[in-house]
Amino acid sequence: MKLYVESGYTSLNKKGEELCGDKVESASDGEYTTVALADGLGSGVKANILATLTSKILCTMVSNGIELEECISAVIQTLPVCKARGIAYAAFSVVYANKQGGGCLFEFDNPAAIYYHEGTCVDFDRTARDYFGKTVYASALNLVKGDCIILMSDGVIHAGIGKTLNLGWLRKDVMDYLNRMIKPSMSARCIACLLAGACNDLYINEPGDDTTVAVVKIREAAPVSVMVGPPVDKARDDFYIGKFLANEGKKVVCGGTSSQIVARRLHEEIRPALDFPDKDVPPIGYIKGIDLATEGVLTLRKLLGLSEKYISDADLTPKYFTKRDGASMLANILFEEATHIQFFVGQSINSAHQGLPIDITMKLKLVEALAKNLKAIGKTVEVQYD
């Protein structure tokens, strides 16, 4: 079983601020994934700059294999201390984990990370270390499939103060909420948005502090292959589709012509769906051996719109899709389930589109925009043209 380190985050800006005073940076070299969450002192531009510097420095140094002590020392010595309050200008939490679940977590002044293990939230075993008079907590990681690390800024535990709660959201309450709400199928970003959304509700949509949640999850690698259109040269149909079918994981076909070619290769029939869940999305079809068969350009256009909403920090709606139209079903496969996505993009011109405002350029642009958005949420994406 191949494992994969997935990460996702979202942030709420303090009411009245255009910039968030928290910042998350991530990096992956294929084996190790580094996620750094920094919380700048105060809010607004100054906090944003400090958080950006802190997260970028830590993520870059840690991901390049520099010793932990040197990374922390560099940040602590670089950042100034607030003269009025005598505290550091930025707090931080950093996860450094490999695909086997090993690695480390270290935290400075942020709320302690929550460890979601075997369906329950628990605390990490933390060791206090002194760096230049500052206490940094370190935890060794030994993660298994399904484990999550939930990092947060103090906006989470302050949620609701003076509004819905007297003392804010206690850590125990946060853990109880996550125990009730997290489902095994949820992606890291889905969990992050779930918790941030609950905080926003407690703030009554007017956050009193910058609030950020970042989640690192160990999950099984889930490759997905998506065929979009047949190749230009019909003589290459068998070769092209052979490569598509030979891939591991789920398989999706977009487009009527592509579906016919794949069905013919598999010696199967296409069974059209009898329901029409969304009037703006053509109905799907069923091909034995294929996980999802959809219409082409119209479905991809709808899918792109869903992807824009999915990656938006301003959107805190659930990140899983329950609707049964082709675009929503494909969105759930690509955004929530998949870890590695390979597009097989045929550049043949569809004669059925003659006289319609649809051409091969539109299809290519849709795929490129989708690939960009998928990469933005941490997916490994490859696009192959033929």
State whether 200 and 286 are in the same domain.
Answer: no
Q: Could you give the C-alpha distances from 274 to 95, 277, 282, 288, in angstroms and in order?
A: 48, 10, 11, 17
Calculate what percentage of the chain has a pLDDT beyond 90: 69
Pairing of strands 340-345, 380-385: parallel
For residue 149, give the DSSP letter.
Answer: E
What gap in Å lies between CA 55 and CA 38, rounded to an integer?
Answer: 5
What gap in Å lies between CA 213 and CA 199, rounded to an integer?
Answer: 10
Q: How many domains does the chain have?
A: 2
Residues whose CB is less than 8 angstroms from the CB of residue 137 and which lie 6 or more positions away in sequence, other chains included? 106, 107, 108, 112, 126, 127, 128, 129
Distance from the first to the final alpha carbon of the chain: 31
Mean pLDDT, the chain, integer: 90
State whether 228 and 216 are in the same domain.
Answer: no
Dihedral sign, CA of 201, 202, 207, 209?
negative
Which of the listed residues 164, 187, 220 is the one where a domain comes to its end? 220
Q: Residue 353 above 80 pLDDT?
A: no
State whether 274 and 369 are in the same domain.
Answer: yes
What gap in Å lies between CA 318 and CA 322, rounded to an integer?
Answer: 10
pLDDT in the model for residue 81: 65
State whether 63 and 169 are in the same domain.
Answer: yes
Do 79 and 54 form a contact (C-beta atoms < 8 A)?
A: yes
Of the candidates 91, 190, 185, 101, which has an alpha carbon nearest to the alpha carbon of residue 150?
A: 190
The larger pLDDT score, comparing residue 321 to residue 111, is at: 111
pLDDT in the model for residue 281: 92
In single-letter form, the type of residue at position 115 comes to Y
Q: Residue 77 above 80 pLDDT?
A: no
Calculate what percentage of the chain has a pLDDT beyond 70: 94
pLDDT in the model for residue 163: 74
pLDDT in the model for residue 17: 93
State whether 116 and 166 are in the same domain.
Answer: yes
What gap in Å lies between CA 328 and CA 161, rounded to an integer?
Answer: 37
Do 371 and 255 form a contact (C-beta atoms < 8 A)?
A: no
For residue 349, give the DSSP letter.
Answer: P
Of the candidates 148, 126, 119, 134, which has an alpha carbon nearest to the alpha carbon of residue 35?
A: 148
Dihedral sign, CA of 246, 248, 250, 253?
negative
The predicted-structure confidence for 163-174, as pLDDT tens digits, reads as follows 777 677 889 999
State whether 281 and 185 are in the same domain.
Answer: no
State whether 170 and 254 are in the same domain.
Answer: no
Which of 75-79, 122-126, 274-278 has the least mean pLDDT? 75-79
Q: Residue 343 above 90 pLDDT?
A: yes
Arithmetic mean of pLDDT, 338-343: 96
Query: Can you tell me which residue has the tokens 């690698």?
Result: 221
Enter the tokens of residue 53: 């510097």
What gap in Å lies between CA 295 and CA 255, rounded to an integer?
Answer: 4
Q: Which domain range does residue 128 map to?
A: 3-220
What gap in Å lies between CA 244 and CA 225, rounded to an integer?
Answer: 7
State whether 147 and 113 are in the same domain.
Answer: yes
Q: Residue 344 above 70 pLDDT?
A: yes
For residue 113, give the DSSP letter.
Answer: P
Of the candidates 247, 9, 267, 271, which has an alpha carbon nearest to the alpha carbon of residue 148?
A: 9
Residue 283 burial by CB count (10 A; 0-12/13-18/19+): exposed, middle or buried?
middle
What gap in Å lies between CA 269 and CA 287, rounded to an integer?
Answer: 6
State whether 204 and 228 are in the same domain.
Answer: no
Which of the listed residues 172, 188, 220 is the one where a domain comes to its end? 220
Which of the listed residues 220, 238, 254 is the one where a domain comes to its end? 220
State whether 183 and 240 are in the same domain.
Answer: no
The predicted-structure confidence for 196-228, as pLDDT tens digits, reads as follows 999 999 999 999 999 999 999 999 999 999 999
State whether 216 and 232 are in the same domain.
Answer: no
Arithmetic mean of pLDDT, 58-79: 86
Torsion of CA 241, 256, 386, 374, to 10 degrees: -100
Q: What is the CA radius of gyration of the chain?
A: 23
What does the longest C-alpha to C-alpha distance in the chain come to?
75
Which of 78-87, 146-155, 263-272, 357-366 has the least mean pLDDT? 78-87
Angle at 345 between CA 341 and CA 346, to 5 degrees: 155
Whichever domain contains 66, its CATH number is 3.60.40.10
What gap in Å lies between CA 346 and CA 227, rounded to an integer?
Answer: 8
State whether 264 and 188 are in the same domain.
Answer: no
Of the candidates 37, 304, 42, 333, which has an alpha carbon nearest to the alpha carbon of residue 192?
A: 37
The predicted-structure confidence for 90-149, as pLDDT tens digits, reads as follows 899 999 999 999 999 999 999 999 999 999 999 999 999 988 778 999 999 999 999 999
pLDDT in the model for residue 168: 72
pLDDT in the model for residue 74: 84
